[in-house]
Amino acid sequence: MAQSAPITFNTALPVASKEYLFREQLIVAQSGRDPATTDRDRTEVTSVSVLGYGVTGKLAVFSVVPYRNIDFDLTLGNQRINRNNTGFGDATLFGRYTLYQKDGLGSNFRVAPFLGIKLPTGDDDFRDSRGITPPPARIATGSTDLFAGVVATWQKLSYQIDAQLSYRKNNEGNGFEAGNVTRFDTSLQYRLWHSDFSKGIPDYLYGVLELNAVHKGKNRLFGVTNQNTGGTQLFITPGIQYVTKRWIAETAVQIPVSQNLNGTALETDYIFRASMRFNF
């Protein structure tokens, strides 16, 4: 791929042959609207490190390593209980191959399938001071999961559109199996400003608008399906992105516009993202 790329997904990140790309993204996911009576409140702060390498001009490989802090509160009886976990989550590896490429003057179009695996490399001890933590407070799943999808990019000098469709097959680890995930993401990056073209490679300022549709299946714990998990969420994600030839700074907020969740599954309030990217 050859573009500035969306904020909420990594599969469109551009990296040239024999070059590296590094992205560090801070994600704060807040969920506090509890349809049940336990007044659950969950805050997940994650620092995601993404390293990409261009094997060839068309094949790129990526590693994704998250470091998480999860703070989960709920009320049982009259007692407010806090569960907290911090540590490395599971690492993900994926490869992307540009299958179709059409370039024009100041424009390009790419279609690239990708295939990835999440490995049980994270801290899956699942314990805090109160003992074994419930699944919402765990920083890793301990499972080996596979995912695949396709990402497309259409870029002009003044704007860029990306779209990805992906499916993740989650497996069981330590008795827990998260529901499978299907997601469709689109991103429009519209150039609001650029520095002087005549002074070499200019800087761009993009206004970003993304849509994220996510469907999660129900979780299973020791073979028993949890009816109060999974469902479909739609987010609208406004953001901003400052692009230079060497680095990109970007931020966006995912705001839920529709949450059709199963049973008493906890709704998302917002997901905040801020990141920096470097070519080297």
Partner 1 sequence: MKIKDKVFSGMILSLLLMQSAWAAGTHYEMRVDGLACPFCAFGIEKKLKAIDGTSDIKVDLDKGLVSVNMADGKSLSEEQMKKLYNDSGFTFRSMKKSPN
Name the site residues for partner 1 (rule: CB under 8 A).
1-4, 14, 16-19, 54, 56-58, 98, 101, 103-108, 155-157, 160, 197, 200-204, 243-246, 248, 277, 279
In the complex, what is the shortest distance from the CB of residue 243 to partner 1, in angstroms, rounded to a whole number?
5
Q: How far is the CB of 152 from partner 1 (least distance, A)?
A: 15
Nearer to partner 1, 133 or 155 (CB): 155
CA distances from 128 to 28, 120, 136, 137, 176 (A): 21, 19, 13, 10, 18
Nearer to partner 1, 82 or 244 (CB): 244
Q: How far is the CB of 58 from partner 1 (least distance, A)?
A: 8
Closer by beta carbon to partner 1, 106 or else 223: 106
User: In the bound complex, what is the minimum distance in angstroms from residue 87's beta carbon to partner 1?
Assistant: 32
Q: How far is CA 149 from CA 18, 122, 240, 248, in A?
A: 24, 24, 26, 25
Between residues 37 and 196, which has the closer beta carbon with respect to partner 1? 196
CA 75 vs CA 38, 131, 136, 156: distances in Å: 5, 17, 15, 52
Least separation in angstroms between CB 35 and partner 1: 42
Geometric angle at alpha carbon 88, from 174 and 79, rounded to 5°: 70
- Reading the block at residue 176, the tokens are 């827990």
Instruction: Closer to partner 1 by CB, 230 or 239: give it.
Output: 239
CA–CA dist 249, 24 (Å, integer): 10
